[in-house]
């Protein structure tokens, strides 16, 4: 029997991408033949980085992972997944709040588009982190260096300096 080729999408706004996201990506590449990190429009008014900037940052971080690509999209996530031929969606779970929300989303995605969702529990050290929380702590001057890839942390500091001086 021929081996199945499984392409998955890992969607998010990734504003900014965190060590928790990278943890999920590293686990995901063990499960899928191809993984697309799909960078969606941020629904937040005060986004830290543009969609194009987020794509570029992530591309740098996964440059050594040939089975991972990074793309942006602006439609419904399930429409995007179908357009690239993905049969699965990868999602990270941090806590029970995520489970409730993600379960409902996964059921809807399967009913509407026939796409399966694969959940990966994040590592314990990232169970409390979110891009939103990290963005807020950083804006208030907190040190979020342990929660972000080093190159992303440097860009966050630089962006906050630029925003503060303007």
- Catalytic residue of the set 3, 45, 164, 166: 45
Q: DSSP letter string over the chain?
A: -PPPP-EEEEEE--TT--HHHHHHHHHHTTT-SEEEEEEEPP--TT-SS-HHHHHHHHHHHTTT-TTEEEEEE-S-HHHHHHHTT--EEEEEE-SHHHHHHHHHHHHHHHHHH--EEEEEEPPGGGTT--HHHHHHHHHTT---TTTS-HHHHHHHHHHHHHHHH-
Of 13, 42, 131, 135, which residue is the catalytic one? 131
21 catalytic per annotation: yes
- 131 labelled catalytic: yes
36, 10 contact by CB (below 8 A): yes
- Integer-rounded Cα Rg, in Å, for the chain is 16
Catalytic residue among 13, 54, 91, 94: 94
Q: Which of 21, 54, 91, 155 is catalytic?
A: 21
Catalytic positions: 21, 45, 94, 131
């Amino acid at each position: 029997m021929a081996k199945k080729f499984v392409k998955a999408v890992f969607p998010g706004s990734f504003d900014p991408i965190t060590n928790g996201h990278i943890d999920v990506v590293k686990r995901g590449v063990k499960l899928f033949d191809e993984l697309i990190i799909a960078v969606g429009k941020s629904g937040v008014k005060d986004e830290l980085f543009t969609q194009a900037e987020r794509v570029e940052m992530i591309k740098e971080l996964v440059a050594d992972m040939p089975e991972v690509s990074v793309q942006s999209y602006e439609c419904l996530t399930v429409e995007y997944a179908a357009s690239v031929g993905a049969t699965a969606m990868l999602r990270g779970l941090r806590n029970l709040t995520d489970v409730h929300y993600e379960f409902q989303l996964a059921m809807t995605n399967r009913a509407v588009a026939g796409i399966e969702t694969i959940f990966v529990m994040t590592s314990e050290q990232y169970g409390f982190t979110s891009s939103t929380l990290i963005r807020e702590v950083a804006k208030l001057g907190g040190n979020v260096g342990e929660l972000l890839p080093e190159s992303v942390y440097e860009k966050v500091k630089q962006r906050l300096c630029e925003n503060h001086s303007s």
